[in-house]
Structure 1
Amino acid sequence: MINVTEAKALVKENALALNPVKIHLSLAASHILAEDVFAICDIPAFRQSSMDGYAIKFADKDLTLKLSGEMAAGTEANFTILNGETARIFTGAPLPDGADTVVMQEKIATVNDEVSVLDEKLKLGANVRAKGSEVKTNALAMQKGNLLTPAAIGFLAGIGITEVSVYPMPKVSIIVTGKELQQPGNKLNFGQVYESNSFSLKAALKIAGIENVHVFQADDELDILKNILDEAMQISDVVLLTGGVSVGDYDFVIEATHLCEVDEIFHKVKQKPGKPLYFGKKNQQLVFGLPGNPSSVLNCFYNYVLPAIYSLSNKVNAVKEIKAKLAAAYQKPAGLTQFLKGFYEDGFATPLNAQESYRLSSFAQANCLIVLTETQENFQEGEIVNVLLLPE
């Protein structure tokens, strides 16, 4: 067995960013930009009014002006205002030639077609967006590595970009093993349990932005499992198997990975829960063998799988590690790093009840994992410990 630090380092070393792909901007939210984006034109492409009002020559602000026309947003025909003239103008509209300033409509007095400016603090160029003030033609608009947030998507659309190069989200398959598993909604027969691991994993993947998930169910038979693993690897960047990674008579995951020519990187980690964790790789595809107990599955997911998924999409790991005070004393055996389901609030991390790996009720209330180090046995109330904050 290797320790937790070694296992995490091996996952990070082997989870390399996927090759960039070009996608339509409408599909690019939450992706990481894979190349610099340069502006294709000036934005705004013309001098533009930032509000409803009147376009004037600043030198004429103290004159009584003649209303000579109107400019609305989307106007394609331009005209020129002469000395002593003004034009009604609306937000987003181009300035008529000759104008250099916009007076807000609340600072104007009109009598018939004559307009007087009432703004004593008016400055040259007021309320005018200069051509190219957002971005100029061929200028760097957004750098490689930026997260494409809603604002970033809107900005790129606003400068005319339709397609971007991004690091793709990995395609994930989940293989649930075990003859004893029954789908929720069906009647449980003697010896059966409801299958929940695929539900929790799909939910966690969805929060991470992974929608492309295939779920397979495999009985505890080597040939069946090998064929399903082969099929899953044809369509996936990451394959997650749940159950069957121990050394029992019906645990065939490790043997199936060998038959599918997956290179084993490690099997078994000095941790609780999730000691039988398996990690392997075939070309650039990653394979995780997760224990079958529900809490073990999620513990391994947040500690190993999710960081790998973020690495594949070139993102920063969303599982944040902080320091916190332990709200209650805790004792554990030496030799294993233990991850406790906990609740973090106001600088304190409280271990929850029902820490057994088969129990998910406490995990349902947890917002963190409390990390108790491998070599230490006794932890005192108020002691500073590492805490992993779970993504919401």
Structure 2
Amino acid sequence: MIKVEQAIEIIEANSKKMPTKLISVRKALGYVLAEKIISPINMPPFRQSVMDGYAFTHSIRHQYDIVGISQAGDYSNIKLKSTEAIRIFTGAFVPDDADTVVMQEDVMANKDSILIAAMPEKLSNVRPKGEQIAKDDIVFEANTLLTPAAIGFLASLGITEVEVYKKPKVAILVTGNELIQPGKKLKKGKIFESNSIMLEAALQTIGIQKAKVYRVKDNLKATKKALKGILKKYDIVLISGGISVGDYDFVKEALLQNEVKELFYKINQKPGKPMFFGSKNDTLIFALPGNPASSLTNFYIYVLPAIKNRIGFSEIHKTKVVRKLNSEIKNDTGKTLFLKAKYDETNVTVLNGQSSAMLNTFAVANSLLIVPENIKEYKKGQLVTLLPI
């Protein structure tokens, strides 16, 4: 049995990056860049008007003759004299001879001339060429997550394809004779299977939209056979249940018989102690506890950072926060505790219902309160560390 910190280090050391691929910017949402992006153009590529009004050369004059018009999308190589102005619209090209735009609300105009009632400062309402970014500047560094805004920015620069890390193929193997699918009639001795649905949802939060779910009964032969096929096809394998030491827990033995390299088994924590982590070729295997709260806890602590590391995130761990404790905590287990909790801007409250079999508390928690194995007690009012979830 190893410490939490050791488990995290082992997983990080064995979670190497996925291969890369060239992908359309239109389809790149949620992917992570595998290389830095250099701007091919200035943005904007020309001086633009910030608003509707009139472009002119700033001076002490207030009256100007109108000699043309500049609409968004048009280009007119108008040469302006110091006594002349043009009608201009938001986003339109500002002539080289103009340096200022006066908004139309500050002008009295007829079809031939304008009188500026409120003179703007020189250079007002003109967006400089390259104001957002200059040609050959870095748009994004490698390991940047592509959000809707990032994709929009890339498109505005004329970039149509980017090199990204591939997303891993993920399989979820669910074990347990007692499990039936939601929607079916609940028979005596059975429970609805929820872990696969829960883990699928958790995967979606980091852009893994599809995971293949497999189910197997609690026997060694069936578990070994199922894993043999799964290990050949997937980059990440999550196993729910069958990893403890009961008479019907066959997962570890089935993994070892499939030549999975054991990297650790069991972590000094509560909940979530009976967890197996291993690898075969480039496939990572996480055998998670069957109890739902334990399974989800270990997903947040171990699986989530491993996947983020594989798909190229620069920061794979969520930033921890510190809050003042609303109650006393005792830890006589000698283990690291992960307690479901709810925090606000100042305080944190440990929620009732910490059983590893219960998800109702998890459903309203916004954090896991971490009690290190060497801490026996936290007093009310002490500062404690939380992992937001």
What TM-score do the two structures reach when normalised by structure 2? 0.91
CA deviation string 1:295-331 (max 9, x = no partner): 1111111111112122222322353333334333334
1:122 matched to 2:96? The reply is no
Which one-letter code corresponds to 2:51 in the other structure? M
Contact 2:179 2:190 survives alignment (8 Å)? yes
Query: 1:277 corresponds to which residue?
Result: 275
Query: 2:141 corresponds to which residue?
Result: 143
Higher mean C-alpha displacement, 163-172 vs 85-94: 163-172
Query: 2:49 corresponds to which residue?
Result: 49
The separation in 2 between residues aligned to 1:132 and 1:385, in whole angstroms, is 47
Number of residue pairs matched? 388
The separation in 1 between residues aligned to 2:363 and 2:221, in whole angstroms, is 35
Which one-letter code corresponds to 2:28 in the other structure? A
Give structure 2 stretches of 5+ with no counterpart.
Answer: none
Q: Identity percentage over the alignment?
A: 43
Query: 2:155 corresponds to which residue?
Result: 157
Query: 1:31 corresponds to which residue?
Result: 31
Query: 1:298 corresponds to which residue?
Result: 296
The separation in 2 between residues aligned to 1:66 and 1:346, in whole angstroms, is 59
Show structure 1 runs of 4+ deviating over 6 A.
none
Deviation at 1:78, TM superposition (A): 4.0
Query: 1:354 corresponds to which residue?
Result: 353
1:320 matched to 2:319? The reply is yes
The separation in 2 between residues aligned to 1:325 and 1:66, in whole angstroms, is 68
Deviation at 1:337, TM superposition (A): 2.0
CA deviation string 1:318-375 (max 9, x = no partner): 5333333433333443332222222223443333222221122222222222223324
Contact 1:103 1:122 survives alignment (8 Å)? no
Query: 1:201 corresponds to which residue?
Result: 199
Specify whether residues 256 and 74 from structure 1 end up closer, same or farther in structure 2 by C-alpha distance, changes over 3 A only: same
The separation in 2 between residues aligned to 1:302 and 1:46, in whole angstroms, is 47
Contact 2:62 2:117 survives alignment (8 Å)? no
The separation in 2 between residues aligned to 1:360 and 1:139, in whole angstroms, is 48
The separation in 1 between residues aligned to 2:366 and 2:77, in whole angstroms, is 59
The separation in 2 between residues aligned to 1:44 and 1:324, in whole angstroms, is 44
Determine which of 228, 242, 245 is the counterpart of 1:244: 242
The separation in 1 between residues aligned to 2:386 and 2:62, in whole angstroms, is 69
The 3-state SS of whatever aligns with 2:363 is helix
Query: 2:170 corresponds to which residue?
Result: 172
The separation in 2 between residues aligned to 1:84 and 1:34, in whole angstroms, is 53
Deviation at 1:292, TM superposition (A): 0.6
Deviation at 1:225, TM superposition (A): 2.3
The separation in 2 between residues aligned to 1:327 and 1:76, in whole angstroms, is 65
Contact 1:302 1:319 survives alignment (8 Å)? no
Contact 2:272 2:289 survives alignment (8 Å)? yes
Query: 2:339 corresponds to which residue?
Result: 340
Specify whether residues 321 and 82 from structure 1 end up closer, same or farther in structure 2 by C-alpha distance, changes over 3 A only: closer
Deviation at 1:196, TM superposition (A): 0.8
Query: 1:84 corresponds to which residue?
Result: 83
The separation in 2 between residues aligned to 1:244 and 1:313, in whole angstroms, is 28
The separation in 1 between residues aligned to 2:171 and 2:370, in whole angstroms, is 28
Higher mean C-alpha displacement, 82-91 vs 372-381: 372-381
The 3-state SS of whatever aligns with 2:320 is strand
Which one-letter code corresponds to 1:343 in the other structure? K
Give structure 1 stretches of 5+ with no counterpart.
Answer: none
Contact 2:324 2:384 survives alignment (8 Å)? yes
Contact 1:71 1:87 survives alignment (8 Å)? yes
The separation in 2 between residues aligned to 1:14 and 1:309, in whole angstroms, is 11
Deviation at 1:63, TM superposition (A): 6.0
Specify whether residues 80 and 232 from structure 1 end up closer, same or farther in structure 2 by C-alpha distance, changes over 3 A only: farther
Specify whether residues 98 and 351 from structure 1 end up closer, same or farther in structure 2 by C-alpha distance, changes over 3 A only: closer
Deviation at 1:132, TM superposition (A): 2.9
Specify whether residues 107 and 277 from structure 1 end up closer, same or farther in structure 2 by C-alpha distance, changes over 3 A only: same
Root-mean-square deviation (CA), in Å?
2.3
Alignment of 1:63-102 (within 5 A): 64-82=63-81, 84-96=83-95, 98-102=97-101
Specify whether residues 388 and 112 from structure 1 end up closer, same or farther in structure 2 by C-alpha distance, changes over 3 A only: closer
The separation in 2 between residues aligned to 1:335 and 1:64, in whole angstroms, is 83
Specify whether residues 344 and 112 from structure 1 end up closer, same or farther in structure 2 by C-alpha distance, changes over 3 A only: closer
Alignment of 1:220-231 (within 5 A): 220-231=218-229
Higher mean C-alpha displacement, 84-93 vs 371-380: 371-380
CA deviation string 1:59-101 (max 9, x = no partner): 5x61643322211111145443445332211111112453333
The separation in 2 between residues aligned to 1:374 and 1:272, in whole angstroms, is 10
What TM-score do the two structures reach when normalised by structure 1? 0.90
Specify whether residues 44 and 326 from structure 1 end up closer, same or farther in structure 2 by C-alpha distance, changes over 3 A only: closer
The separation in 2 between residues aligned to 1:62 and 1:75, in whole angstroms, is 28
Contact 1:11 1:304 survives alignment (8 Å)? yes
The separation in 2 between residues aligned to 1:103 and 1:320, in whole angstroms, is 47
The separation in 2 between residues aligned to 1:198 and 1:24, in whole angstroms, is 31
The 3-state SS of whatever aligns with 1:32 is coil
The 3-state SS of whatever aligns with 2:203 is helix
The 3-state SS of whatever aligns with 1:241 is strand
Specify whether residues 161 and 179 from structure 1 end up closer, same or farther in structure 2 by C-alpha distance, changes over 3 A only: same
Deviation at 1:242, TM superposition (A): 0.4
Higher mean C-alpha displacement, 246-255 vs 327-336: 327-336
